[in-house]
C-alpha cells in the first residue's frame, strides 16, 4: 500500500488547527472548545481552550457504554509470580470507581496531587485512572528510585495522599517499598495526610497508625457500599499528571500533561502511527513509572478501546529469553513496544532466537522500539527472528508521544536503519547550529521543534513556567530544544545521534550524570568528580564515575570506591546502575576550568579524539587513558 504520510503531513502543515480539531472529534467532550489553539495562553499557548472533558471517561466509561463492557481492557501478566489477572472494561470501571470512592472519602478533590509509588501491579494503572476520574493530578514515581528521589518529588508535588505497595519484585530480589516510602516521608518537608498501602503476599509491611490505610480493605468497603463516583469534568487544559524526569541538575523536572490535548494526540497515534485498531491487543513492555508506561500501557490503548498488557517481569530471566514470545502468544498481541536494550538482552541469551519458534506469533504484526537509539544490528536481528517490521521511533517524556517514526497506520515508508524515520504531524523538526541558524541537510546540529508544540506535549513544568522557558525555549527563540543532536538526510529522514546535555540513557532509562556528580561530591574523601556515560553492549550506556580524592587521604582506595557506589544506590537508587568508579589524580580541564567530559568519553569508548586546543595540561589525558585501561576500558 502506498503511504499516505506525505499527504497527511502536508494537510497538517497547511491547517494545523483544522487537523487537530478533526482529530478531536474522536474524543467525547462534556463541553466543546472555544478555541482549538489559544496562542496567548500559557507559556507558548494552550490546546482546546474552553473545553471540558474527563480522561477516565474516555478511557473506560465510554467503552462500557459503547459495547465493550465485556471486552478485556487490562491484563496483568506477572512472569515473576506466575499469575495472570484479566479485567474487562466493566470490571476495570468497577475497580476504578471503588478506588475513586476511597480517594474521595480521604479528601482527594479535583486539582489535588496524588503520588503513586508502585511496582507493576494492576492497581498502579487503576490508581492513575481513579485520579483522572476525580480530576486529581497523579504523579507516578518509578520503583527503582531511592527514598531521597521520592522525597524530592513529594516536596515538589505536595501530594494529599500517596498510594504505594508493600513490595516490588525484581528477579531474585524482593524490593521492600515501605521502608523507602517511610524514609522519603521522613526526609520530605511536606507530609501527605494519608497513604494507601497495597499489601502483596510476597512481603507484608507494617503500617503507620493514623496515616496508613489498607488498600484492599478500603476498596472492598467501597464496593460493598455501592458508592458511585461520576467522572468529574475538568478543563481540557487542566493537568492530568505530573511526571518527573531527569534534568541537568539533581532537581528533577515535573513534566505536566494536560487532559484534552493528551487524549486527542494519543488517540490519533494509535491508529495512524501504530496501526492498531480498537479491540486489538497492544503491549508496551515498559514500566508505569516512565512516560512509555503512562502513554502506551495505560492511556493510549484504553482511549482507543484496545486490550492492554501490564507485564511484571524482564525480557530475560523471568524465567527465560522466551517470555516476550510467550506473552505475545498467550494474549494475541498485535504490536509490542519496548526499548532496544530489551532485545539486546534477549539476543545475548538466545542469539539464534530458538525460543521464538516455540510460540505462536501468528497474530503479531509490528515491533516498535524507542527510548534510546536503535542500533541497526539489533533491528536486523529482530526483523530476521520475528519476521515483522521493526519500527524505531523517537520521542521524549516531554512530548508524550512520538515526534518521528515510520507511520505504520498511514502506510509504511522505506526503512533506513539507524533512523527513526520522519516527523509526525504536529512536529516541525529543524536542525540548528549553536548560533540558531538552520544547517544544511546531512549536517549534525541541535534538533529543535518549531513552536507551538502539538497537543499532548508538555505545556509547562509543574509550578515552574520560568524553568520551562529557560530550559527549553530560551536558547533558540521560537523553538523547543530537544537537547538531542542529529541531522536530517536528503529524503527528510531524521537521525538522532546523541544528547547535547548531561543526560545519559542506561537500559532505556533516562539519567542525569549531573545528579550523580552531586552525590559523588558528597563523599567526605572526594575532592572533585566527573560522571560520564560510556558505551555498553547491552544497556547502550552505563555511568562511569571519576573521583579525585582529597590530599592526605590514606584510606584503602577500593573501599572508598565501594562507598561511592553504595552512596549513589542509596541516594538515586538501583536504576542508576552506577557500579564503576575510577580514582584518578587530576581531572582534565580547559584553561577556564571546564571538565573535558566529552574527551574522556571518547577515550573510554575508543572513539577518535583530538587534543582540545584549550586543555590545561595534556598529560592528564594519558593518566585517564591508563586509569581506564587498568579496568579494561578503552583498550
Ligand atoms: N524497582 C526496584 N529496582 C529496580 C526496578 C524497579 N522497578 N527496575 C530496575 N531495578 C533495579 C534492577 O533490579 C537492577 O538492580 P541490581 O543493580 O540490584 O541488579 C538495577 O535497578 C538496574 O536495572 P536495569 O538497568 O534495568 O538492569 P537489569 O539488569 O535489571 O535489566 C534489562 C536489564 C535490559 C533487562 C532491563 O533494563 C529492561 O528490561 N529494560 C527494558 C527497557 C525499559 O523498560 N525501558 C523503559 C523505557 S521504554
Ligand atoms: P525519555 O524522556 O526517558 O523518553 O528519554 C528521551 C531521550 O531518549 C531522547 O531525548 C533521546 O535522547 C533518547 N531517545 C528516545 N528514543 C530514541 C530513538 N528512537 N533514537 C534515539 N534516541 C532516542
| Cβ–Cβ under 8 Å, residues 494 and 404 | yes
Residue-averaged pLDDT of the chain: 96
3-state secondary structure 314-373: CCCCCCCCCHHHHHHHHHCEEEEEECHHHHHHHHHHCCCCCCHHHCCCCCCCEEEECCCC
Report the separation in Å between the CA atom of 246 and the middle of ligand 2, taken as the mean of its atom positions.
Answer: 12
Report the separation in Å between the CA atom of 299 and the middle of ligand 2, taken as the mean of its atom positions.
Answer: 20
Report the separation in Å between the CA atom of 575 and the middle of ligand 1, taken as the mean of its atom positions.
Answer: 6
Ligand lying nearest the CA atom of residue 458 = 2
| Cβ–Cβ under 8 Å, residues 45 and 37 | yes
Domain spanning 507-629: CATH superfamily: ANL, C-terminal domain (3.30.300.30)
Angle (deg, nearest 10), helices 122-134 and 89-105: 60
Q: What is the pLDDT of residue 32?
A: 98
Portion of the chain with pLDDT greater than 70, in percent = 99
Residues 158, 154: Cα–Cα separation, whole Å = 5
Residues 607, 604: Cα–Cα separation, whole Å = 8
Cis (ω within 30 of 0) for the bond into 452?
yes
Q: What is the pLDDT of residue 169?
A: 97
| CB 372 less than 6 A from any atom of ligand 2 | yes
Ligand lying nearest the CA atom of residue 291 = 2
Residue 175: strand, helix, or coil: strand
| Cβ–Cβ under 8 Å, residues 342 and 508 | yes
Report the separation in Å between the CA atom of 385 and the middle of ligand 2, taken as the mean of its atom positions.
Answer: 25
User: Taking CB atoms and a 6 Å cutoff, what residues make up the pocket around ligand 1?
Assistant: 143-144, 168, 170, 175, 286-287, 290, 292, 314-316, 339, 341-342, 345, 371, 506-509, 539, 574-575, 577
The CATH T-level fold of domain 5-313+393-486 is Rossmann fold (3.40.50)
Q: What is the pLDDT of residue 447?
A: 98
Contacting residues for 629 by C-beta, under 8 A, at least 6 apart: 635
Q: Where are the domains of the chain?
A: 5-313+393-486, 507-629
Q: What is the pLDDT of residue 374?
A: 92
Residues 254, 251: Cα–Cα separation, whole Å = 9
Report the separation in Å between the CA atom of 274 and the middle of ligand 1, taken as the mean of its atom positions.
Answer: 26
Q: What is the pLDDT of residue 107?
A: 98
| CB 481 less than 6 A from any atom of ligand 2 | no
Mean pLDDT by groups of 10 residues along the chain of 635 residues: 94 98 98 98 98 99 98 98 98 98 98 98 98 98 94 97 98 95 98 98 97 98 97 98 85 95 98 98 97 98 98 97 98 98 96 97 98 93 97 97 98 96 98 98 98 98 97 98 97 95 93 94 96 96 97 96 97 96 95 92 94 90 95 90
Q: What is the pLDDT of residue 246?
A: 85
Q: What is the pLDDT of residue 239?
A: 98
Q: What is the pLDDT of residue 613?
A: 87
| CB 496 less than 6 A from any atom of ligand 2 | yes
Angle (deg, nearest 10), helices 597-604 and 619-629: 40
Positive/negative CA dihedral, 455, 153, 294, 28: negative
Residue 479 CA neighbour count, 13 Å, CB half: 20
- Ligand 2 pocket mutation, candidates 394, 449, 457, 461, criterion most atoms within 8 A of CB: 394
| CB 373 less than 6 A from any atom of ligand 2 | yes
Atom 8, ligand 1: which residue's CA is nearest?
144
Pairing mode of beta strands 445-450, 429-432: antiparallel
Amino acid at each position: 500500500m502506498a503511504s499516505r504520510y506525505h499527504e497527511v503531513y502536508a494537510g497538517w502543515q497547511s491547517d494545523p488547527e483544522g487537523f487537530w480539531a478533526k482529530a478531536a472529534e474522536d474524543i467525547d467532550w462534556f463541553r466543546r472548545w472555544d478555541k482549538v489553539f489559544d496562542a496567548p495562553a500559557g507559556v507558548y499557548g494552550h490546546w482546546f481552550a474552553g473545553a471540558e472533558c474527563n480522561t477516565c471517561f474516555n478511557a473506560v466509561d465510554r467503552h462500557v457504554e459503547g459495547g465493550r463492557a465485556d471486552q478485556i481492557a487490562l491484563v496483568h501478566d506477572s512472569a515473576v509470580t506466575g499469575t495472570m489477572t484479566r479485567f474487562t472494561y466493566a470490571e476495570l470501571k468497577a475497580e476504578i470507581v471503588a478506588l475513586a470512592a476511597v480517594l474521595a472519602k480521604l479528601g482527594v478533590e479535583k486539582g489535588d496531587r496524588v503520588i503513586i509509588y508502585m511496582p507493576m501491579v494492576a492497581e498502579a494503572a487503576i490508581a492513575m485512572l481513579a485520579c483522572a476520574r476525580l480530576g486529581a493530578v497523579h504523579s507516578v514515581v518509578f520503583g527503582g528510585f531511592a527514598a531521597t528521589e521520592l522525597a524530592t518529588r513529594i516536596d515538589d508535588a505536595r501530594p494529599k495522599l500517596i498510594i504505594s505497595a508493600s513490595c516490588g519484585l525484581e528477579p531474585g530480589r524482593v524490593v521492600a517499598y515501605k521502608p523507602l516510602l517511610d524514609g522519603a516521608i521522613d526526609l520530605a518537608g511536606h507530609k501527605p495526610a494519608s497513604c494507601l498501602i497495597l499489601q502483596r503476599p510476597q512481603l507484608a509491611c507494617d503500617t503507620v497508625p493514623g496515616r496508613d490505610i489498607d488498600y484492599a480493605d478500603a476498596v472492598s468497603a467501597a464496593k460493598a457500599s455501592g458508592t458511585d463516583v461520576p467522572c468529574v469534568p475538568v478543563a481540557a487544559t487542566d493537568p492530568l499528571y505530573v511526571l518527573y524526569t531527569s534534568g541537568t541538575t539533581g532537581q528533577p523536572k515535573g513534566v505536566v500533561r494536560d487532559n484534552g490535548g493528551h487524549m486527542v494526540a494519543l488517540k490519533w497515534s494509535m491508529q495512524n502511527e501504530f496501526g492498531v485498531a480498537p479491540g486489538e491487543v497492544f503491549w508496551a513492555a515498559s514500566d508505569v513509572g516512565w512516560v512509555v508506561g503512562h502513554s502506551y500501557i495505560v492511556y493510549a490503548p484504553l482511549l482507543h478501546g484496545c486490550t492492554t498488557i501490564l507485564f511484571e517481569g524482564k525480557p530475560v530471566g523471568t524465567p527465560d529469553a522466551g517470555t516476550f514470545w510467550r506473552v505475545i502468544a498467550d494474549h494475541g498481541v498485535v504490536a509490542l513496544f519496548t526499548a532496544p536494550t530489551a532485545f539486546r538482552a534477549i539476543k545475548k541469551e538466545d542469539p539464534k532466537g530458538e525460543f521464538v519458534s516455540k510460540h505462536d506469533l501468528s497474530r503479531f504484526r509490528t515491533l516498535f522500539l524507542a527510548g534510546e537509539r536503535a542500533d541497526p544490528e539489533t533491528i536486523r536481528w529482530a526483523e530476521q527472528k520475528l519476521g515483522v517490521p521493526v519500527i524505531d521511533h523517537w520521542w521524549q517524556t516531554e512530548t508524550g508521544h512520538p515526534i518521528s517514526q515510520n507511520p505504520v497506520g498511514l502506510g509504511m515508508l522505506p526503512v533506513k536503519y539507524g533512523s527513526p524515520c520522519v516527523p509526525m504531524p504536529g512536529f516541525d523538526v529543524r536542525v540548528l547550529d549553536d548560533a540558531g541558524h538552520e544547517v544544511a541537510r546531512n549536517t549534525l546540529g541541535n534538533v529543535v521543534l518549531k513552536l507551538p508544540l502539538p497537543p499532548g506535549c508538555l505545556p509547562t513544568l509543574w509550578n515552574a513556567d520560568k524553568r520551562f522557558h529557560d530550559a527549553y525555549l530560551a536558547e533558540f527563540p521560537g523553538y523547543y530544544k530537544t537537547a538531542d543532536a542529529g541531522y536530517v538526510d536528503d529524503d527528510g529522514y531524521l537521525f538522532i545521534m546523541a544528547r547535547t546535555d548531561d543526560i545519559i540513557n542506561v537500559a532505556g532509562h533516562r539519567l542525569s550524570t549531573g545528579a550523580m556528580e552531586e552525590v559523588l561530591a558528597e563523599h567526605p574523601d572526594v575532592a572533585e568528580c566527573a560522571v560520564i556515560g560510556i558505551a555498553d553492549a547491552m544497556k547502550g550506556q552505563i555511568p562511569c564515575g571519576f573521583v579525585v580524592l582529597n590530599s592526605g587521604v590514606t584510606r584503602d582506595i577500593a573501599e572508598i570506591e565501594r562507598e561511592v557506589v553504595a552512596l549513589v544506590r542509596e541516594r538515586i537508587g538501583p536504576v542508576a546502575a552506577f557500579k564503576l568508579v575510577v580514582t584518578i589524580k587530576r581531572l582534565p580541564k580547559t584553561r577556564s576550568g571546564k571538565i573535558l567530559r566529552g574527551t574522556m568519553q571518547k577515550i573510554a569508548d575508543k572513539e577518535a579524539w583530538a587534543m582540545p586546543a584549550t586543555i590545561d595540561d595534556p598529560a592528564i589525558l594519558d593518566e585517564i587513558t591508563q586509569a581506564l585501561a587498568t579496568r579494561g576500558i578503552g583498550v
